[in-house]
Amino acid sequence: MIRITNAIAIGEPELTFRFFTAQGPGGQNVNRVATSAHLTFDAEGSPSLTEAVVRRLRGLAGRRMTAAGMVIIRAQRFRSQERNKDDAIDRLVQLLARAAEPPTVRVKKGPTRGMIERRLDQKRRKATAKRTRGSVRGGLE
């Protein structure tokens, strides 16, 4: 079991790994050894994730989540297959932990004293400017 939070844990059988040859520099090793790890996790079908967590995960995962609800993480940062596998698991755990946090609800408050004073001051200045305007008397005749 991989523990995400106190309430959420996913089982190892829920994770599927496929290994490919990595991209980028590395010489002969990169061409011969399948070190790149692709982790697939079915978030929609996971019994340990609630609907709210999956909804937040969809927003956080972006392109890493398919329309069917599968999260795919590619890890090819390291030269060894085992380290890339661990890196992919760590990144999935971090993503799920962020999705498990409920969003903070904004508490509406009234306007601050400074906001009220600035609004009234601006109102006074505008009224004064309008009061000083007047019709032109004795114009061109």
Tell me, yes or no, whether 79 lies in a domain: yes
Tell me, yes or no, whether 133 lies in a domain: no
Give the domain CATH number at 36.
3.30.160.20
Is 113 strand, coil or helix?
helix
Tell me, yes or no, whether 68 lies in a domain: yes
Q: What are residue 136's phi and psi, to 5 degrees?
A: -80, 125
DSSP structural state of residue 65: B
- Determine contact, residues 43/57, Cβ cutoff 8 Å: yes
**Single-letter residue type at 137:** R
Q: What is the pLDDT of residues 53-94, one digit of tens each?
A: 999 999 999 999 999 999 999 998 888 889 999 999 999 999
Does the reported pTM lie above 0.75?
no
Tell me, yes or no, whether 130 lies in a domain: no
The tally of domains found in the chain comes to 1
CA separation for the pair 98, 60 (Å, rounded): 8
Those residues whose C-beta lies under 8 Å from the C-beta of residue 76, and which sit 6 or more positions away, are 22, 23, 24, 35, 36, 37, 84
Q: What is the pLDDT of residues 7-29, one digit of tens each?
A: 888 888 889 999 988 887 767 77
Tell me, yes or no, whether 45 lies in a domain: yes
Tell me, yes or no, whether 110 lies in a domain: no
β-pairing, 15-20 vs 2-3, is: unpaired
